Amino acid sequence: MSIEVVSSNKMFGGWQHQYNHASSVLNCSMRFAVYLPPQASNMRKVPVMYWLSGLTCTDENFIQKAGAQRIAAELGIAIVAPDTSPRGEGVPDDANQAYDFGLGAGFYVNATQAPWNTHYQMYDYVVNELPALIEANFPVTQERVISGHSMGGHGALVMALRNPERYSSVTAFSPISNPINCPWGQKALQNYLGKDKATWQEYDASLLMAKAETFVPAMVEQGKDDSFLDEQLKPNMLTAAAAKKGYPLTLEMHDGYDHSYFFIATFIEKHMRFHAANLAK
């Protein structure tokens, strides 16, 4: 699986790279970002945190705004940030170019409905194809943690809940916690998966957490001044599911914080240290 360098920048003794590659799962060219801490070398492999970004984002938002590389360099954790959806000529987009569906809004599902099913297979891409690519080309171990924001927080929680053997821990910022009951989720899931709501349940973190049998330590951060809090994010549904199941979830609400990367940058070190502690176990 060949990769093409787009850019490279030295940071905190390590390297921030961007690459292109041809994805057989998504049937298009994809870009992803990798931060390799100074500990990563041919003599030593490091674990990986996968970061999933939110609506309208690319691989660049997190690597440019979150400030995670400093703490990743200290802890010896690589960071991999994929794009949020397939892109390119021939990849279908929302007819009205809406921000909450289509390009930039893949929702980390495997689409089953035409025309989306030809390219929009982000679940398989993040869970299987991208880690195989990373582990074949970089000095990393098969130890993985996963995190994300908003739509990406939804994706991170779903992937960890459905694949507990693959991730040591999961964290999320402002995740879409109950997509089958919010406008963003309903629009995306109906278009990508069809009208049968039974198929939607496999991509709903609150429902998955309520029936989980194997637990992945989880932490969620949510701002109380987030304009999407009540209508779209619904963290109360996640905490209710965790309480019902006895799931190891820590969810903290923060006065004054919104949905932006200022919020993420404030608490990203806390999340990186949470992951490092669980990797050490």
| Beta bridge partners of residue 46, listed in sequence order | 140
N-terminal to C-terminal alpha carbon distance within the chain: 32
Which residues are the active-site residues? 150, 226, 259
SS3 116: helix
Task: State the CB neighbour count (10 A cutoff) for residue 72.
Answer: 27
- Measured CA to CA, the distance from residue 175 to residue 107 in angstroms comes to 12
Q: Are 262 and 249 in contact (CB under 8 A)?
A: no
Task: State the CB neighbour count (10 A cutoff) for residue 225.
Answer: 12
Q: Which amino acid is at 61?
A: N
Q: Are 114 and 194 in contact (CB under 8 A)?
A: no
Q: Are 193 and 112 in contact (CB under 8 A)?
A: yes
- Measured CA to CA, the distance from residue 69 to residue 14 in angstroms comes to 8
SS3 93: coil
- Measured CA to CA, the distance from residue 135 to residue 62 in angstroms comes to 21
Joined together, the tokens standing for residue 249 give: 């979830």
Query: If 0-12 CB within 10 Å is exposed, 13-18 middle and 19+ buried, where does residue 49 land?
Result: buried
- Measured CA to CA, the distance from residue 140 to residue 160 in angstroms comes to 19
